Amino acid sequence: MKQERGRRAGRGRSAVPPEKAGARQERKERTRQALLDAGLELVAEHGFAGLSLRQITREVGIVPTAFYRHFRDLDELGLKLVAESFGTLRQMLRAARRDITDYGQVIDQSVEILEQYVSQRRTHFQFIARERSSGVMVIRQAIRWELRLFVSELALDLSRFPVLSEWPAEDLQALAELIVNSMVVTAEGLLDAGSERDRQDIVESAKKQLRMIVVGVANWRT
């Protein structure tokens, strides 16, 4: 009751100055991000299945129950990590294939975007690579869902290629899946690469493989 009155008074006068409310919001945002970062780090050690709320909050320096001010449960935090991992990658890849007149250039650019993205979000993609086959269903499904979006967007873009315009939907889907799967394995290879030389080999090999697929396409009869 007292709190209620306090809040009302705050609206009329200045019991909570706007700059202070902003600072509080900012601090809340920072704590939320700190929980995500701590979660990502702990997942790297024990996998998502081994994550404990108590451990995350200890890491961030808040009491366990305060976790619920930021996330409904650990799964919600995990799903946010999945979303953070993929971030704007899909849009970036899509932009790279806006101009489809030069196949080779689209392929080279796509592989390079992937390579840079994975290297910028290394820990995130290690989380994805691991949880893609892990035991926590809700996370595994979220990752599969993200990859399906890649596939369906790519299938749509592929249908604009003159040579593919007559293809039935399931063949476009299979082709898009082949390309996305190849990119997934490339990303996992990049995460595991021991040296700059290894990375370059993987990038070159991925470009070559995608070119093989695309050349195949032009000759595939349904």
- The Cβ of residue 121 has, within 10 Å, a number of other Cβ atoms equal to 18
The stretch near a copy of itself (CB under 8 A) out of 9-17, 57-65, 84-92, 178-186 is: 178-186
Residue from 123, 146, 182, 193 in contact with a copy of itself (CB under 8 A):
182
| C-alpha distance across the termini of the chain, in Å | 72
Helical segments of 122-195, H only:
122-131, 137-158, 169-192
As given in the structure block, the two tokens for residue 147 are 């990859």
Residue 112 tokens read as 């390079």
* Contacting range for a copy of itself; rule: CB under 8 A; set: 30-38, 66-74, 95-103, 172-180: 172-180
**Quick one: which segment of 17-25, 65-73, 114-122, 186-194 binds a copy of itself (CB under 8 A)?**
186-194
> Which C-beta is closer to a copy of itself: that of 70 or that of 115?
115
Three-state secondary structure call for residue 167: coil
Among positions 14, 119, 165, 181, the unique one binding a copy of itself when judged by CB under 8 A = 181
Residue 138 engages a copy of itself in binding (rule: CB under 8 A) = no
CB 13 within 8 A of CB 34: no
161 is written with which tokens? 């290629």
Rounded Cα–Cα distance for residues 48 and 43 (Å): 5
Comparison of 60 and 128: residue with beta carbon closer to a copy of itself: 128
- Name which of residues 58 to 77 contact a copy of itself (CB under 8 A): none
CA angle 166, 180, 209 (to 5 degrees): 90
Binding positions for a copy of itself, rule: CB under 8 A: 44-47, 49-50, 126, 129-130, 132-135, 140, 144, 171, 173-175, 177-178, 181-182, 184-185, 188, 191-192, 205, 208-209, 211-221
